[in-house]
Structure 1
């Protein structure tokens, strides 16, 4: 119930009020995996919208630890990392995500190069 209440508050633009419900839902043990994934994403995103960037990064990293293949969590983490001026890591996440999920044949043609440079954008050779 707390997770659904948080989500409704978020949708209504009541992000500040949503936080306590997200936190309560994550503190308990009643969430299934998909709802937990959604709560971690929702809370991390809400922290970011509220300018609580450090908490956003922390929450979204936790989400990725639990759900490492979730591209939405990775994308929202990249946005939060941008806000904390961790641009290199944000770009690394997004480049790896694009390389691994894009159906664009041109991206796939250059996938090895994109993945290589995602490790270190300062490398030139």
Structure 2
């Protein structure tokens, strides 16, 4: 068996174990990350594993490695931006979280999940007006509620004019 096939099969097996919440997954992903330190996909899965175990601080360098490395598929890059931004926010590293989430939005413009986590981060930074504006725009753009959609133009208009009165 070639090294590349073994590498792919090992990662696939570890991801399946992680999805099954099998504790062996974390050990396997750490071993793979040590063996293949430049592999962005492995780093991303190791970060995800740390996060799912509540080991947020240990997840950060793996998320960073995943985003810095080449070849991470778009869906996983999106997940890495979201995971890293969210993790940094939970750790109280709000400025860093804002930077990561905004960087993610340059690659995934108007992404509702990135915008929602950015809004939470903005709130933590004391930027309540911008946080509410962001959430109003996400709600207007993504809600399937007929009443919200009926008022979408007004919601979007007032999102930028929260302090205005007639």
Give TM-score, length-normalised by structure 1.
0.97
For 1:89 and 1:64, the matched residues in 2 are separated by 16
Q: List alignment gaps of at least 5 residues for structure 2.
A: 1-41
Alignment of 1:42-81 (within 5 A): 42-81=83-122
Q: List alignment gaps of at least 5 residues for structure 1.
A: none
Residue aligning to 2:7: none
Structure number with greater CO (CA < 8 Å, separation at least 6) is 1
Alignment of 1:1-125 (within 5 A): 1-125=42-166
**CA RMSD of the aligned region, Å?**
0.8
Q: Which has the larger radius of gyration?
A: 2
Q: How many residues were matched structurally?
A: 125
Give the 4+ runs in structure 1 shifted more than 2 A: none
Give TM-score, length-normalised by structure 2.
0.73
For 1:124 and 1:113, the matched residues in 2 are separated by 14
